[in-house]
């Protein structure tokens, strides 16, 4: 299992400033929704990762990843040059490159015009842009709403059947 913090520490210690574009990059992204600064990790075009990827931040993939990607509560973006052979679990998944694997998006999945996906999608919202290539199945279910325990006050009334009369 590969931890994103471990990757950042190893790569940051070993790269020189001129090659930061080719390796894993850390970018700050301002989000309008939270008014806070969030970290986004990026896997560069020349990086090849074999194994499971998990972490607690969003990820942009421009390189090659084989394994499983589990970033629940965060976003995964596969760039135009990205090539991923993995099952992905994330909040939002955007595919601009190539993906061979299943996607489970808690909020939504978007396959862009340049995207090429071979796998199944489970998400409440799915967007396939004109020109996108997709082979698989799509299962769209709205977010699960916590069931409300019904009391006698809010139980729906069941109409009682009238007794049937049998005449001879």
Q: Give residue-wise pLDDT tens across range 5-55.
A: 666 565 555 554 444 443 334 343 333 333 334 688 999 999 999 999 999
- Bridge partners (DSSP) of residue 84 are 65, 99
E strand residue ranges, 24-166: 25-30, 37-43, 48-50, 53-54, 58-61, 64-78, 83-95, 98-100, 103-111, 116-118, 121-122, 125-128, 133-135, 138-139
Would you kindly state where each structural domain of the chain is located, as residue ranges? 2-12+25-139
Q: Give residue-wise pLDDT tens across range 59-88.
A: 999 999 999 999 999 999 999 999 999 999
Rounded to 5 degrees, what are φ and ψ at 161?
-75, 140
Quickly state the pLDDT bin for 99 (edges 50, 70, 90).
very high
Alpha helices in the chain (DSSP H): 4-14
> Percentage of the chain surpassing pLDDT 90?
60
Contact 80, 99 (CB under 8 A): no
| Chain Cα centroid distance, residue 166 | 62
Two tokens at 139? 């299962």
Mean pLDDT, the chain, rounded, equals 78
Mean pLDDT, rounded, for 115-134 = 96
């Amino acid at each position: 299992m590969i931890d994103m913090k471990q990757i950042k520490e190893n790569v940051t210690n070993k790269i020189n400033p001129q090659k930061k574009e080719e390796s894993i990059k850390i970018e700050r992204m301002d989000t309008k929704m939270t008014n806070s600064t969030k970290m986004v990790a990026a896997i560069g075009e020349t990086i090849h990762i074999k194994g499971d990827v998990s972490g607690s931040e969003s990820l942009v993939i421009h390189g090659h990843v084989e394994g499983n990607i589990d970033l629940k509560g965060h976003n995964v973006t596969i760039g135009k040059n990205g090539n991923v052979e993995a099952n992905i679990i994330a909040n939002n998944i955007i595919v601009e490159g190539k993906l061979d694997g299943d996607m489970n998006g808690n909020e939504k999945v978007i396959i862009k015009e340049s995207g090429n996906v071979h796998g199944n999608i489970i998400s409440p919202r799915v967007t396939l842009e004109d020109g996108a290539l997709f082979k698989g199945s799509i299962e769209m279910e709205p977010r699960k709403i916590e069931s409300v325990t019904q009391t006698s006050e809010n139980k729906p009334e069941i109409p009682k059947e009238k007794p049937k009369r049998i005449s001879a």
